[in-house]
Amino acid sequence: MRIKRIINQVLRSNNIINFNLLGYYFKRTIPLLYYFFVKSKSPKKIVFFIGNQGDGLSFVTRIIRRNKSVISISGDSNYWNGPDEMATVMEPVLPYSLRNPGLITKERIKSELKAPRSWSYGSNNFFHHYKSDESFFTEKIKTKFIRAISTSLVRFGTNKIFVDKSQVYSLKMRLINHIFKDKVYFVHITRDPYVSCFRAASGKAGDLNRFKTQIGYKKCLKLAVEHWNNVGKEIFESSTLVENYLKIKIEDILLEPNKKINQICEFIELDFDLDMMPAKDQDFPRYSKYSDRWYPIKSDLNSKYFSKIDEYSKEYIKNNIDKKLIKIQDYKI
């Protein structure tokens, strides 16, 4: 079904090929073609942006990727808007514990709620299946993971900082930290849980949007809250065990973008440059998606969701969200 949707995107309603999307998916495939020919090269530094889908990770990583010292799985600073979720892009060749299955490879758990997953891998029925800690480590897993990253290093420079935002890696921090030790940095982007959970359950999360026809909105909201709780708890517990961790609210980034992006740059030891920031009349790289998620910066991004949230959803989230995590992430419920 996911493959069919991609084909429908590439073919417009009048069956004219959308060359921009065709180019996007071609560039997304290139790393897989390189995988079988590259020699493994360990990155000097690797940065994972973690959190939940829809919490602003795409916006933030695009800014970071405009820096000439940064690369991702699909490109360097010349292609700062390309796909940067290695768990999906490199799905067929990654070890199962470090992939996001469901698009090309099968998920090893039986459920009527089918993968791929973006807001359900953290729900109660799937959380333990997707969590990977240091006990999963083998040299084979390490070799495959580094080889996948090497497809980018050999193309764009071994002296660059590798950046990725595979959200499912929020449940795999300990395994990743065990592989890279002090070379890996985790930047946790958070968003108000009322907005996050309601937005996902309402259909903005691809998997929950599919599930709505099967189980209805209320059960999707339940999955969203479970996911938020479990992902947040795993990140919090892992943050005390990994070498380098930074937590920052997307709301704060949108209110003070230069200051907060500079804070992230300082954390990952990257020189901040004002040219990284969104500005009028900047050209988007060719073969890009979601050009609306850039400029102007929308400081009130949450307001449209607060105006739409119904009383049932508000009460359900309030009564079932993890209050300890709310406090840790500096939100009010």
pLDDT tens-digit map of 145-183: 999 999 999 999 999 999 999 999 999 999 999 999 999
Give the per-residue pLDDT at 220.
98
Give the per-residue pLDDT at 8.
59
Q: State how far the Cα of 26 lies from the Cα of 286, in Å rounded to an integer.
A: 12
Q: State how far the Cα of 83 lies from the Cα of 165, in Å rounded to an integer.
A: 9
Q: State how far the Cα of 326 lies from the Cα of 331, in Å rounded to an integer.
A: 5
> CA separation (Å) from 230 to 52, 126, 225, 234?
11, 10, 9, 6
Q: Who contacts 141 (Cβ-Cβ below 8 Å, separation ≥6)?
A: 95, 97, 98, 175, 179
Q: State how far the Cα of 72 lies from the Cα of 57, in Å rounded to an integer.
A: 14
Other C-beta atoms closer than 10 Å to the C-beta of 313 total: 20
pLDDT (average), residues 33-61: 96
Q: Cα 150 from chain centroid?
A: 20
> CA separation (Å) from 250 to 12, 228, 261?
34, 16, 10
Cis peptide before 285 (omega within 30 of 0): no
Whether the Cβ atoms of residue 162 and residue 156 lie closer than 8 Å to each other? no
pLDDT (average), residues 81-93: 96
Give the per-residue pLDDT at 16.
54
**Complete domains list, the chain, with CATH:** 38-280+293-328 (3.40.50)
Confidence of residue 239 (pLDDT cuts 50, 70, 90): very high
pLDDT in tens, 96-134: 999 999 999 999 999 999 999 999 999 999 999 999 999
Give the per-residue pLDDT at 224.
98
Least Cα distance to 100 among 21, 11, 168 occurs for 168
Give the per-residue pLDDT at 17.
61
pLDDT (average), residues 253-272: 98
Q: State how far the Cα of 321 lies from the Cα of 331, in Å rounded to an integer.
A: 12
Give the per-residue pLDDT at 293.
73
Q: State how far the Cα of 113 lies from the Cα of 110, in Å rounded to an integer.
A: 9
Confidence of residue 12 (pLDDT cuts 50, 70, 90): low
Give the per-residue pLDDT at 21.
86
Give the per-residue pLDDT at 277.
97
Give the per-residue pLDDT at 70.
98
Whether the Cβ atoms of residue 140 and residue 95 lie closer than 8 Å to each other? yes
Altogether, the residues listed in the chain come to a count of 333
Give the per-residue pLDDT at 73.
97
Q: pTM higher than 0.75 for the full model?
A: yes
